[in-house]
Amino acid sequence: MSATRTVTVGSSNGLHARPAKLFVEAAQNAGVPVTITKGEKSVNAASILGVMSLGVEHGDEVVLTVEAENAEQTLDTLAELLTTNHDEAN
């Protein structure tokens, strides 16, 4: 079973540094294979280097794919992380 979801990235500095780390940690903790896709390129969401190499910027759309039972729950958690702005600004 697999499920996908399209998410718009909310961090004002995109998916770099801390936001990338938080996301990859969550993907690793999911315990099931998660793929993140931007445009044509798909990478293992548990790979920090893979995720950073996508060069995801603020406002970009990415697609999450989870291969597992209960995929929706995992997608909820990961999608929330991606839409949150982890970078402070005033």
Partner 1 sequence: MPESLTGTGIGQGVAYGPVARMAPPPAPPADTDSQLKPEQESARVKEAIQAVSAELASRGETAGGQAQEVLEAQVMMAQDPTLLEAVEQRVQAGKTGEFAVHAAFAEFQETLQTLGGYLGERAADLADVALRVIAHLRGEPAPGVPDPGHPFVLVAQDLAPADTALLDLDKVQALVTIEGGPTSHTAILARGKGITAVVGVKDAAQLSDGQQVIVDAAASAIITEPSQEQIDDVTRRIEERAAAAAAPLTPGALADGTEVPLLANLGSPEAAQEAVDLGAEGVGLFRTEFLFLSSDKAPSVAEQRESYIKLLQAFPGKKVVVRALDAGADKPLPFLNDAEEENPALGLRGLRALLANEEILRDQLTALAEAEAATEADLWVMAPMVSTVEEAETFTKFATQHGLKTAGVMIEVPSSALLADKILPVTGFASIGTNDLTQYTMAADRLLGSVAGLQDPWHPAVLRLIREVGAAGDHTGKPVGVCGEAAADPLLAVVLIGLGVNTLSMAPAALADVRLELSRHTKDQAEAIAQAALAASTAADARQAALDVAAR
Binding site for partner 1 (CB under 8 A): 10, 12-13, 16-18, 21, 24-25, 43-44, 46-50, 52-53, 55, 58, 80, 84-85, 88-90
Cα dist. 89→12, 36, 85 in Å?
8, 26, 9
Min separation Cβ 37 and partner 1, Å: 15
Q: Active-site residue among 5, 16, 21, 58?
A: 16
Q: How buried is 28 (Cβ within 10 angstroms: 0-12 exposed, 13-18 middle, 19+ buried)?
A: middle
> SS3 of 42, please?
strand
Is residue 16 part of the annotated active site? The answer reads yes
**Dihedral sign (CA 79, 61, 46, 18):** negative
- Known catalytic residues are 16
